[in-house]
Chain A
Amino acid sequence: MLKYTIKRIIQGIVTVWFIATVTFIAMHSVPGDPLTGERGMSEEIRQNLEQKYGLDKPILEQYIIYMGNMIKGDFGISFTQQNRSVNDIIREHFPVSATLGILSIVFAALGGVLWGALTAIYRNRLPDVVVMFLVIFGISVPSFVIAAMSQLILVNINTSFGFSILPVAGWGTISHMLVPSLVLGLGTMAFLTRLMRSSMLEVVNADYIRTAYSKGLPAQRIFLKHQLRNAILPVITVIGPAIASITTGGFVVELVFAIPGLGRFFVQAVQQLDYTVIMGTTVFYGAFLVFMVIIVDLIYGLVDPRVRLE
């Protein structure tokens, strides 16, 4: 177990290095540099600025310097936002994205497991048909459409009541977080519901369930201890990748609901070619995702004794 964990962590570090390198290459292959956009800059000022940011050095040297700083945990200073370090930007805005992401993951996982189990139990009856229809809807409608529509509905509800029941946009209180995280989690919830339903159906007719019934266990206990616990395993494996898609997919929701998350900074930084912010956010996100997947895999090994981590 320990050996496996160490191996995975080393792999993770190599992956993060790979992400950083690819980002660096892709970023520098974009024509222009962060200083291109500045108007009326004389040659001397440009040279001075290039010297300050180290842009005058050969690309390989820049790479080595950057990697050295990154290992020390220093992502540098933003080119476009005055005197703001990338670490500060991440420290300030990542918690917002993370809160949104965690809330929607919790919502998606709880909802997915619950609906999935429900549909499997009521297979081919009304609840199953209704929920599965909604699931198809949830998988097929893009998150930005759901976000926009829910905003439209919220506005109409608020105006019809004459006061704001739930805020339409913004960030701060629990009531701000509710709708965006529901919207963000909906697609994943639909996906998890489907997965949970099929894995539950597999379990429902298993031999050990029949045994449990024949030895006279109450249905409730069978459901919780035998069915749910076994059926939930495949769901846990996809939670890792789901975190990935939710955290990066979050920035559409951030955009629509005007939430000050990290995603918006990334889009802005790419447009302005702000090297340090691009590198910082990508590497940070990449590392976050890689280690999330590792943690989920380790948890999987703990939950399912059949899986041996080697």
Chain B
Amino acid sequence: MTNIVENLTPLDFKRVSKKKKTTSISRPSLSYWEDAWIRLMSNKRSLVSLSIIIFLIFFTLLGPIIWNVDPSGQDLDQLSSPPGADRGAILVEAYMPWDGLSITKNNSSEGLKDFYDLGATEYINVEGFPSTQYVRLSWNKIIGASGYRIYRNKFDPGSDNSLGLPMADILTAEEISFEDRLNLEPGEYWYSIAALDSLGRESNQYKKIAVRVSRAISIPEAIEKGIITQTSQVAIGDTIYLKFHPLGTDYLGRDMLSRLMHGARVSLFIGVLAPIFFVILGVFYGSIAGFIGGKVDQFLMRFADFVVALPFLLFMILFKIAFGIGPGESGVIPMLLALVLLSWPATARLVRGQILQIRGEGYILASQLLGAKTYFLILRHMIPNTIGVILVTLTFAIPSVIFVEAFLSFIGMGVVPPTPSWGSMCNEGLQTMLNHPHEIIFPASLISITVLAFNLLGDGLRDALDAKMRSKE
């Protein structure tokens, strides 16, 4: 022992050079957020969903500026037209009333037709050009008939005599013409004419004719609708093109693309704002409960339990009605309020749990021992340690809120018409689904894609932000 002490020289007490490193960090250190970002970006699924969400934001914000079409404006010439439908319309003369044909006693030249019977081949004639403006039919008088009944069908009546919609009864045998102007759409129609006897009974014999109806528009109409201008060089018989609807129109002739864009504004507005509000509310509530603890905590959490126990959808409807909708409002704000009032407890519970957990951690005690004040604890420790979980909750809340909005609008308890939302568009599309499936397919797939994107992003964020919740893939 003494030897060592004696052997020490002043040199041994010289300071070691500062430059001498014992350990070194070979890679740059990453903050929590940098690490999370790298993880998120290396996840293919979240990248895809992120780009879908960015696209949706552009679709919602810039879409209506680029495609500036009124979502409630009706194009009555194109009702329920699917995307890519023929837009051609033939220019015709303005509509002129038609007197029709009849056999009168002093009009013997028309009376020639009198001698044909039901067996004749050229029984029904189409007078003029059959178009959506009008279809004019004339036929030969049936001997013994004292009237006619005209039917219209979209299909060939065939052998089972499905004549379709009765259009008119003509109660004199002399009148042998009929003009149809009822909701004509371009396409093929089958007209049938059956004879009526003097008591108005229908004979079981009928004659049918297939008429190919073209879309027609008169020049004044076309000018009024802004398809052509006063100075356009057009002539009767020219084909002009009606307004372009990239995704077709709905059953009221409203532009689908424009409605989808404006509907996205409603759906995403609620979908993003409601979760932000109720997550903030939940964070406050939960952190107050977690921080104060004791009786207050118990009381607050019991109340949260009550709110959880309310049947969610029933109360969404009830609250939405209770907040009331004034005339001319879209009903978005009551829905938002109802969502916030009913959805906060889940976040509150989560945050309270997190706060309680963090409060017991050693580093909080250490920080307190070093003299940290409450606000410092909150800012430095509590918030950074819970923000990841909160962010993940927020991302998962967005798709579920979009679901709820769509659901309510679907059962007719959501936004008020004519405000479009994806859910109400689905509801309207359901009515015409069998004949015009595009009206439900577009909004339905947009809802699904949006929900899918937010769900996948939520998965990715959870994996990136929260080591404890990381899924075991």
Contacts and interface: CB of A to CB of B under 8 A. Distances in A.
A31 interface: yes
A166 interface: no
B309 A26 contact: no
15 contacts: A15-B305, A23-B318, A27-B322, A30-B324, A136-B455, A139-B451, A142-B407, A142-B410, A145-B447, A152-B437, A248-B313, A248-B314, A266-B317, A282-B311, A282-B315
Contacts of B452: 136, 139-140
Interface in A120-154: 136-137, 139-142, 144-145, 148-149, 151-152
A8 to B, nearest CB: 12
B407 A145 contact: no
Interface in A172-201: 198, 201
* 4 pairs of A and B residues whose beta carbons are closest in the complex: A140-B452, A145-B444, A248-B313, A140-B451
Contact of B314 (A31, A137, A281): A281
A168 B82 CA distance: 25
Contacts of A101: none
B472 A201 contact: yes
B413 interface: yes
A179 to B, nearest CB: 16
Contacts of B413: 267, 270
B426 A144 contact: yes
Interface of B: 305-306, 309-315, 317-319, 321-322, 324, 399, 403, 406-407, 410-413, 426, 429-430, 433-434, 437, 440, 444, 447-449, 451-452, 455-456, 471-472
Interface of A: 15, 18-19, 22-23, 26-27, 29-31, 136-137, 139-142, 144-145, 148-149, 151-152, 155, 198, 201-202, 244-245, 248-249, 251-252, 255-256, 266-267, 270, 278, 281-282, 285-286, 289-290, 293
Nearest to A19: B310
Contact of A148 (B322, B433, B451): B433
B433 A152 contact: yes
B411 A140 contact: no
A134 B434 CA distance: 25
B448 A142 contact: yes
B309 A290 contact: yes
A154 to B, nearest CB: 11
Contacts, number: 117
B411 A252 contact: yes
Given A26-B322, A202-B472, A270 B313 contact: no
Given A140-B455, A145-B448, A148-B444, A282 B426 contact: no
Q: Which of B314, B321, B451 has the most CB of A within 10 A?
A: B314
Contacts of A281: 314
Contacts of A26: 315, 318-319, 322
A285 B437 CA distance: 35
Nearest to A248: B313
Given A15-B305, A27-B322, A29-B322, A145 B314 contact: no
A152 B434 contact: yes
A142 B440 CA distance: 13
Contacts of A251: 313, 411
A1 B238 CA distance: 86
Q: Which of B306, B437, B452 has the most CB of A within 10 A?
A: B306
B431 to A, nearest CB: 10
A155 B324 CA distance: 39
B318 A278 contact: yes
Nearest to A255: B411
